[in-house]
Amino acid sequence: MSARSIDGKAFAATVRSRVAEQVAALAAHGQPGLAVVLVGADPASEVYVRSKGKMTIEVGMKSVEHRLPADVSEADLLGLLAELNRDETIHGILVQLPLPAHLDENQVINAIDPAKDVDGFHISNVGLLGTGQKSMVPCTPLGCLMMLRDYHGSLSGLDAVVIGRSNIVGKPMAQLLLKDSCTVTIAHSRTKNIEAVVKRADIVVVAVGRPEMVKGDWIKPGTTVIDVGINRIDAPGKGEGKARLVGDCHFDSCAEVAGAITPVPGGVGPMTIACLLANTLNAFCDQKGLPRPR
């Protein structure tokens, strides 16, 4: 391996401790509160929600969890969101996705007060980000951007290829890179000759959900690879029915060629929760009329 492995776990710990210091410094203005709403009992979502709650408390914020049955009506869910929008002790609201099929995800997300939309998925925040205005920025792409800025310093003029065009990762990632003056290409399942597209990039952000899709021979020597994918694959070597996590990039072959790469696990994942806490603190400051901490 020649690439530097970007340690998202350590970086996230520094972000969380900075947030904790800022929360303590702002105590005279109140305590930031984050409400997480989980519908149904998806095991992966349960794990995320537990770990979000634990880290929220660790940085000194108030954490509230609302667990609703999988068959909750849209009216009841919207009613809860309206209550949380009014609750002055809650500054950030997150609805854990995906939602069961009978609920309209757009309708639910857009029912959150944009000022409390710490996931940055509300249509107002999407528009603000797209027009370069102050907004809530989606946590996963924000974490990727922070790691890229930390590694490169300025991103200006770099060729960036984002693979994936989802509303939660690919599209906001592309917006953020564009805002930092990268030349941005978004690739997706219909992109022709994707390997050649990826090969010209100085930065590749991969958010697809296909285990180890991007191989070392796709990338230019020295490229920075940010692997957002989280895929659970069989690991017979670990025992019957055991699984292991891999990214969307084939780590060993990419690490031979890349300049830097994020591992899975331990790369983008921990940064996502750290950015959620940073966003909650920003939302708190916005709502209190205070400047956002730097």
Q: Which residues are catalytic?
A: 52, 96, 119
Apex CA 14: angle with CA 130 and CA 284, to 5°?
Answer: 50
Shortest CB 289 distance to ligand NDP, Å: 31
Q: Which residues contact 268 (CB under 8 A, 6 or more apart)?
A: 8, 140, 143, 144, 147, 226, 227, 228, 262
Q: How far apart are CA 262 and CA 159, in angstroms?
A: 18
Shortest CB 15 distance to ligand NDP, Å: 14
**CA proximity to 161, closest of 132, 196, 129:** 196
DSSP assigned state of 99: P
Closest to ligand NDP by CB, 133 or 193: 193
Binding-site residues for NADP(+): 164-166, 230
**CA proximity to 51, closest of 69, 38, 40, 32:** 38
Pair type for strands 231-234 and 243-246: antiparallel
Closest to ligand NDP by CB, 114 or 143: 143
Torsions phi, psi for 187 (to 5 deg)? -105, 155
- The answer to whether 255 touches 215, Cβ cutoff 8 Å, is no
Closest to ligand NDP by CB, 146 or 285: 146
Q: For tokens 């191989």, what's the residue? A: 215
Closest to ligand NDP by CB, 32 or 269: 269
User: Which residue's Cβ lies closest to ligand NDP?
Assistant: 166
Look up residue 124 and give its amino acid.
Answer: S
Q: For tokens 């909650």, what's the residue? A: 280
Shortest CB 166 distance to ligand NDP, Å: 3
Give residues in contact with ligand NDP (CB under 6 A).
Answer: 140, 163-166, 168-170, 187-191, 194, 207-210, 228-231, 268-269, 272
Closest to ligand NDP by CB, 45 or 231: 231
DSSP assigned state of 100: P
DSSP assigned state of 104: -
Q: What 3-state DSSP class applies to 10? A: helix
Shortest CB 195 distance to ligand NDP, Å: 10
Shortest CB 30 distance to ligand NDP, Å: 29
Q: How far apart are CA 275 and CA 254, in angstroms?
A: 26
Binding-site residues: 164-166, 230
